[in-house]
A and B are shown apart, each in its own frame.
Chain A
Amino acid sequence: MPAKRRSAPIRVLIAKPGLDGHDRGAKVVARALRDAGMEVIYAGLRQTPEEIVRAAIEEDVDLVGLSILSGAHMALFPKVLRLLKKEHPNGIKVFAGGIIPDEDARRLKRMGVRAIFGPGASLEEIVRTAEKLARPSS
């Protein structure tokens, strides 16, 4: 008996790689994505790139959102991107937020981070971008 196909909500993993403990931004974004109807898996603080990639695979997410304020983004993000590509070649897209200088942001985008939000980015913009990244056709 074929079950009716229900519309699948967008699933997003929000994680904080590295050692800074400031997760207010990540929580505000998680909540905004929830209010837009997404299923947000909140992985919390101090996640290693390996843990983040493992969680993304187990949770079968469409997107991974990384939040970082410690300045270690150039050490950690490329590792997440590399591992994700290796473990999940069909592509889970990555976006990021935090304190990331413009020059670094340009480099990270060249490496494959799809969008980067600094302080002052609006929640509407983040939600819209996440929707577009997860469902490019709609």
Chain B
Amino acid sequence: MAFVIPKETYSGKVYPVTIGTGDNAVTFGGENVLPFNGFEGSTPNKPVIAYEIQDIPPSDWPENVKKPFEAVSGDPVKWAKHCQDTLGARAIALRLTGTHPDRENLSAGDAAKTVKDVLSAISVPLIILGSNHAEKDSQVLVACAEAAKEKNCVIGKAQEANYKTIVAAAMANNHKLIAMSELDINLSKQLNILITQMGFDKERLITDPMSSALGYGLEYTYSVMERIRLAALAQNDATMQPPMVADVGMYVWKIKETQALEADLPMWGDLAKRGVLWEASTAASLLISGAELLIMRHPEAVQAVEKFISEMS
């Protein structure tokens, strides 16, 4: 009996989303198959990795991921240029950590200025992220969305508690938008519906089902992503068809495995390599489960994942 490859043809597809402007704009999403299942459908765009930078020096990052940016991380503009020019970043994610009330409590105006400065120094797409303080983010991101008008940035993250103002700002200034919910497919669907009901075009959305680090809840993110992707493809559920982002670096570089010294835990092996692999393997797993956009920190981890992606396609 001749073997017929059991191919799946799905009725749905993931929206392609383009960010940035001009020659350096990038597009991700657009496939009509599960991740890396190009043998049965079309995968027009490769996943994109954005380098994470911050508006303030990364005092809370562990030594091993601080070091590669030592010379530039005192200034977000230098940091961004370094990622673009030296590391070859295809996109940059600026996290406005300094605006958090428990950190420097920088104002929305300060943040907007940083955004402007960074944008005038780079030509690759910019992702603008708040400090994950729901109230403060809704002021900060509104100001930043305006400051970045017409640059086709990504604004994030809109959450249930603050989405209204952020959605309005992204819409008024022609940006893309990350909608984040907490590890639950129904919450994610619900938030996407609420946002599109405000008149926001669903093809401009990016879903963040919430990341977690390898060993610290990865299996939850992994399965929520797989379920979202199956809903998009097999059930043709339009509310689940935006591409997904995995915000990997911030979850990975706070856990013990990326910080404990080999001298204290000899069984865990070389700390520098361990940290890089932790970020890279978290990222690779989430690509396999459905992410099209990654936000990462360590240059070696990014390079390893880039190699992995090119082997995949």
> A and B: partners?
no
Q: Which B positions have Cβ atoms within 8 angstroms of A?
A: none
Residues on A lying within 8 angstroms of B by beta carbon are none
